[in-house]
Structure 1
Amino acid sequence: MAETAQLAVLHPVPRHLGPVTLESLYLAAAAEARIGGDLYEAIHTPHGVRLLIGDVRGKGLLAIQAAAMLLSAFREAAHDAPDLPHLARRLETSMSRHACQYPGVPGSEIAERFITALLAEIPDDEPVVRTVTCGHPPPLLLHSGEVRELQPADPSPPLNLGMLVSDGYHVDLAPFHPGDQILLYTDGVTETRDRSGAFYPLAARIRSWSGETPHQLLAHLHHDLLAYSGGELDDDIAALVARRRLSG
């Protein structure tokens, strides 16, 4: 039931938005009771293609409810927020209001829920990608067979912890040329373990697939994660790939 509810809040991502080709992946944990609130979305806006990936603290239907709230807020705000810091602030406000609906007893699971999130913006007419990181794993940039982790210069805390943001949200900028790809993912990917307990080495494994299409890349990742874990995923996994199409 929980897996069905989670999939219901994740709309299929369009294959093409503006100058970008997209593909998404969602894998549920082996144990249904551990299904969480992993989420992703992609929208073409007047500012370019805007992407969101996030991971709700906690598991179960309450996490899925928080994920649905954030997706709804993103789908509304992505079109008119003038830049990513404004968009992040809108999402923080929505998350805080959602949490305030459940003041209850101090330590309430809902009131203390937070969401790690990564926002990305790919302009239609400029070969760059802008990102804002809110406590989320850094994306990977795939360029000419190389894989680079886009570490944020000044990361912000997860959503619903916005009181800790003192100087606003910092935007990181990286080149993003035709043929380049960016991979956004939740920590269920990098925290997948093999039978010896070793974590999944995402950057090293994905290098050999960097020239594949987004669909093929995520198909390889899907099968490789299942093989690496012996078919028993301990956490939900979500991933989103965007590739700037070649001109013409």
Structure 2
Amino acid sequence: MLDPDLLDALRTARHVVVFTGAGVSAESGIPTFRDRLTGLWERFDAASLATAEAFRADPALVWGWYEWRRSVVHRAQPNPAHLAIAALASKVPKLTLITQNVDDLHERAGSLDVTHLHGQLERPRCFQCQRDPDAPLPVPDEPEAGRRVQPPACAHCGGPLRPGVVWFGESLPMDAITHAFQAAEQCDLLISIGTSGVVYPAAEIPEIAWRLRATVLHINPVPGPLHGERDFALASAAGIALPALLNEAFAEH
């Protein structure tokens, strides 16, 4: 039985913000940056590959790793948490979905207008002129197809395409983080799912909502400390907690 105050906050919410992190995608089998790399990549550190410096030094190595990541995403499927978030959008007047994940599982689950704070694997851009490619990337090969892959050339300037994600040392897209902060300021309920809450500036999103009197729910197998009033936690996998939350909140409404 869930807290009646939490259920009431969800039933009466006019604007819900859902903020997701790597834990949601991990339930679909997508490794997080904290996971040890395996197979052909096990001797590399993920953080050392996710930088502009690494790409300048060895673009084929970095592009090959991101092609491996794309192949994992292409084989993954949305899990019950992704599906529950998409379903929630039809049960509340307004839902804003903000994610730190670079995959497209939210979209494949049926969510619309997803704000990607850290970019998207499927949206590369030129490393030199920053333009988008004229055609989408082809479906990647299987994960063990090879370690080094030369990046495609930009059709505009001939420079190499780079993954369309935010690397370490780069700023988040200004339009995305501004939209996320504004949504946090305006919502009356924020649900934070599968995120550590320690990486700033994204970690400010739940804090902003709580300071401005919204109810905040954290869903994580190991939730962190709470403020107390209007701050709730469910120590559970997202794929279990979210469907149960929706079922209990809306089963008779």
| Global fold match (TM > 0.5) | no
Greater share of residues in strand: 1
TM-score by length of 1: 0.28
TM-score by length of 2: 0.28
Greater share of residues in helix: 2
